[in-house]
Amino acid sequence: MPRFYVLEVPENEGVIRVAADDPANTVDRVGPYRRVTARGPIVIDRRATGCRHAVWYSAVAGLETSVITQHDKDALRVEAR
């Protein structure tokens, strides 16, 4: 089951919002982190997040039994390892 963590800071709000808007994802809290979990691959559209590049490429804080299979100007894709 793909799962990743994002630190809750203002710059990461777009990533958290896009993840939470997708009904396939469950977004909960672990301390000051948001944890995104899904049954299938998690895909975050970069443009929808509004993140500028420096923020986008440093948004992922942790990977649990998961692997990043895409992280470019278009999207972040996290799949089960």
Strand order in the sheet with 25-30: 25-30, 33-38, 3-7, 60-64
Among 1, 62, 70, 72, which residue interacts with other proteins (rule: CB under 8 A)?
Answer: 62
Q: Does 61 bind other proteins (CB under 8 A)?
A: yes
Shortest spacing between CB 37 and other proteins, in angstroms: 12
39-16-14 Cα angle (round to 5): 135
For other proteins, the binding residues (CB under 8 A) are: 3-5, 7-11, 30-33, 52, 54-55, 58, 60-64, 67-68
